[in-house]
């Protein structure tokens, strides 16, 4: 029986990172690193490490769960299961450590694997955005502000903007590594008392073995500001994906229909309306983005644990860590499919450029009167505003209202002023610069 849709419906390669078996493996990897440190310092026999390593390959999740059902402690259940499989070396497992020495250090290893997957996915998505920006740098379309027609832009510029945001999110992912690839081996309150003066050495040796950094100071846990930062970056990625998905959804509206997410030959849009081509994939991205963002609030509340720690973070982290990573990975996969198969309806793009009978060229007209006809800027703005209002009321083309106003503009000038496809400024240069 599947409880969470992330187990099946929204499953990705990220699921393997957060599966119980992998978590167990990472816990045991930390235990092995602890045994190695003890062996190197001479506090346990060197051959014990090999026996513990071999034992770790025999531990089954099912056995750990059996023990946990009896003792009600998941980490100690792993320790007991590993002890069972390690022979006489079992007595050397977990010496000096507390549960979250193992769990938090293992979480850093899990996050490292998860971020590696996400980086590759996000990098590929960035390349797709870059390709679309270049491909559509000359695809002139209607720009919209406040849901209203503004002035022309290009689809290439839209994608270039997304591409630059994607690069910033890649930078953020890379930047947080130095703060999240961190573990601890400091005992119950962070004093390392159980290691009898060798705590600093042991912690450093373990983290070097695992390829992460030691926390310079901790209590019973690695401080949760680190984890909150990870979830915040995931939320930023989710917000970017939602922004793109919302643009697809809005531009796919029947009244606009400039673009559309791909629609399969046998795809069903509605159970009752056979004609429907709903942007349900983009809507799904927007839906999951809300979940990923909401998890940040929980992660922020986990920062203020009481004294040297309490357990209020534990239960929710079993949900928010995997949910945020899998959700973000799924959204990236979906948006990659959507944009790879995005349909463009050029006739509608052109139709929408002319939909307002030239009103969207009012800015260009104003600037032309200022720069070429020596009219003051404020006077030009007011003159064009009045003409635009008249054109709106009478449903005349603004060009015809301008002709009637006798502003000294000839037909050639008017034709150029009211050509939306030649009013994109330096959009192409911007795109070229942004996609170098």
* Catalytic annotation, residues: 146, 270
Please enumerate in sequence order all residues whose Cβ is within 8 A of that of 42, keeping only pairs 6 or more positions apart, or say none: none
- Rounded CA separation 210/67 (Å): 27
- Rounded CA separation 182/304 (Å): 19
Q: Is 419 helix (H, G, I), strand (E, B) or coil?
A: coil
Please enumerate in sequence order all residues whose Cβ is within 8 A of that of 136, keeping only pairs 6 or more positions apart, or say none: 154, 155, 156, 159, 344
* Tokens at 154, concatenated: 């290009």
Alpha-helical segments (H) within 88-141: 99-135
Give backbone dihedrals phi and psi of 424, rounded to 5 degrees, phi first.
-120, 15
Could you tell me the CA-to-CA distances from 174 to 66, 223, 377 in Å, in that order?
39, 20, 47
- Rounded CA separation 130/128 (Å): 5
- Rounded CA separation 141/349 (Å): 6
- Rounded CA separation 208/181 (Å): 12
* Tokens at 212, concatenated: 């992460």
Please enumerate in sequence order all residues whose Cβ is within 8 A of that of 432, keeping only pairs 6 or more positions apart, or say none: 137
- Rounded CA separation 303/355 (Å): 53
**Count of CB atoms within 10 A of residue 84's CB?**
14
Q: Is 148 helix (H, G, I), strand (E, B) or coil?
A: strand
- Rounded CA separation 370/407 (Å): 12
* Tokens at 125, concatenated: 């998505």
Please enumerate in sequence order all residues whose Cβ is within 8 A of that of 412, keeping only pairs 6 or more positions apart, or say none: none
Answer yes or no: are the C-beta atoms of 431 and 134 closer than 8 Å: yes
* Tokens at 296, concatenated: 């940040």
Q: Is 289 helix (H, G, I), strand (E, B) or coil?
A: helix
Answer yes or no: are the C-beta atoms of 414 and 403 closer than 8 Å: yes
* Tokens at 329, concatenated: 């990975």
Q: Is 336 helix (H, G, I), strand (E, B) or coil?
A: helix
């Amino acid at each position: 029986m599947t409880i969470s849709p992330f187990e099946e419906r929204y499953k990705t390669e990220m699921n393997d990172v957060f599966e119980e078996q992998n978590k167990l493996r990472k816990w045991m990897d930390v235990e092995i690193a602890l045994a190695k440190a003890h062996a190197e310092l001479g506090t346990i026999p060197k051959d014990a490490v090999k026996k513990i390593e071999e034992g770790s390959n025999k531990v089954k999740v099912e056995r750990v769960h059996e023990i946990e059902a009896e003792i009600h402690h998941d980490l100690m259940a792993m320790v007991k299961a590993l002890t069972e499989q390690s022979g006489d070396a079992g007595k050397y497992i977990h010496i000096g450590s507390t549960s979250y020495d193992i769990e938090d250090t293992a979480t850093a290893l899990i996050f490292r694997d998860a971020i590696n997957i996400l980086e590759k996915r996000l990098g590929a998505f960035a390349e797709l955005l870059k390709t679309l920006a270049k491909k559509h740098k000359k695809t002139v379309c209607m720009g919209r502000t406040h849901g209203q027609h503004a002035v022309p832009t290009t689809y290439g510029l839209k994608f270039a903007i997304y591409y630059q945001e994607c690069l910033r999110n890649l930078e953020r992912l890379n930047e947080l590594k130095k703060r999240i690839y961190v573990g601890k081996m400091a005992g119950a309150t962070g004093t390392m008392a159980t290691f009898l003066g060798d705590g600093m050495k042991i912690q450093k040796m373990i983290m070097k073995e695992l390829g992460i950094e030691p926390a310079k100071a901790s209590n019973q846990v690695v401080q949760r500001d680190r984890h909150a930062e990870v979830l915040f970056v995931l939320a930023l990625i989710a917000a970017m994906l939602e922004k793109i998905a919302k643009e697809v959804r809005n531009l796919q509206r029947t009244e606009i229909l400039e673009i559309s997410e791909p629609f399969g030959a046998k795809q069903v849009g509605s159970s009752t309306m056979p004609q429907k081509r709903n942007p349900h994939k983009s809507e799904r991205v927007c839906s999951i983005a809300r979940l990923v963002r909401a998890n940040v609030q929980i992660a922020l509340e986990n920062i203020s644990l009481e004294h040297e720690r309490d357990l209020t973070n534990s239960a929710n982290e079993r949900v928010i860590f995997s949910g945020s990573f899998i959700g973000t990975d799924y959204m990236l996969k979906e948006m990659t499919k959507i944009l790879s198969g995005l349909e463009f309806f050029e006739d509608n793009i052109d139709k929408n450029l002319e939909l307002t009978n030239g009103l969207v060229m009012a800015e260009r007209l104003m600037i032309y009167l200022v720069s070429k006809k020596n009219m003051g800027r404020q006077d030009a703005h007011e003159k064009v505003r009045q003409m635009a209002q008249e054109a709106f009321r009478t449903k005349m083309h603004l060009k015809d209202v301008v002709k009637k106003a006798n502003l000294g503009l000839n037909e050639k000038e008017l034709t150029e002023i009211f050509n939306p496809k030649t009013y994109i400024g330096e959009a192409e240069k911007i795109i070229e610069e942004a996609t170098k």
